Amino acid sequence: MLYWLMKRVLLGPLLHLFFRPRIEGAENIPDEGGALLASNHLAVSDSFFLPLKVDRRVTFPAKIEYFTAPGIKGKLKKWFFTGVGQIPIDRSGGSSAQAALDTGVRLLREGNLMGIYPEGTRSPDGRLYKGKTGIARIALEAGVPVIPIAMFGTDKANPIGSKMWKPYPIRIKVGKPLDFSRYRGLQGDRFVERSITDEVMYALMELTGQEYVDIYAAKAKELQAAEEAGRPATLPEQQQRTAREVDRIPETEAG
């Protein structure tokens, strides 16, 4: 109830007024049944505009910190993120990561639409980064299609670090569903999961027109921070660290 109140009465009309969002290819999203909406991730506002323009309810996993802050401000934040269709995910690793995967699979098997960001975090510079294989594990476990989604303009409306959004036209482009039923039963195979994830990222690259970078966005942020602090990482160091990185579940996050 709160989701639809936010979408149609409290928040949605304002977003339509100031940002004039439009969607192309909405017919590629099924009218019923579970599906993963795999989007590029330019800004926090991605998680607002996509549900706004999709007729069905879209649920996003969000870091649990959005729901556990103390005090009145924390309660308001929990109320707000619940209202816009997000569910808490503990990303601390180990059993928590598995619980996050299980939550996604359950939602999809129940016939819901789930939004997910394969890059795992926002792009630090507008480019498209390597996807995490959690999306492949969820898709195979739940037996659902993956629908690539391209977001345009959200980084202009909601630049990184900004506290206020700026009016800017938002465009959403929905690609054709990707069917991975040919890999059914092969979840847990790292090569299969990487192949699926790379196929999703290639579809996103074609849909968005973004330059693709074959490292994780989180790692790119670390390298960027190191360079800004006067500790630039060389390319060989970067490649070695990337090779050792373990995939984690894709997530919605504000950092």
The DSSP line for 33-66 is S-EEEEE----TTHHHHHHHH-SS-EEEEEETHH
* CATH classification at residue 78: 3.40.1130.10
Per-residue model confidence (pLDDT) at position 242:
42
Which of 2-16, 63-77, 159-173, 176-190 is least confident?
63-77
pTM score, two decimals?
Answer: 0.85
For residues 31 and 130, state if they share a domain.
Answer: yes
Task: Name the residue range of residue 237's domain.
Answer: 215-246
Q: How far apart are CA 243 and CA 78, in angstroms?
A: 37
**Residues 200-232 as b or e (16 or more Cβ within 10 Å = b):** bbebbbebbebeebebbbbbbbbbeeeeeeeee
> Would you state the pLDDT for residue 69?
80
78 and 145 in a single domain? The answer is yes
Instruction: Using CB atoms within 10 Å of the CB of residue 9, give its burial: 0 to 12 exposed, 13 to 18 middle, 19+ buried.
Output: exposed
pLDDT of residue 93: 58
* Residue 219 and residue 169 share a domain: no
Q: What is the mean pLDDT of the chain?
A: 86
pLDDT digits (tens, 9 = 90+) for 33-90: 999 999 999 998 999 999 999 999 999 887 777 788 888 888 887 887 777 777 777 6
Number of domains present in the structure of the chain: 2
Are 105 and 230 found together in one domain?
Answer: no
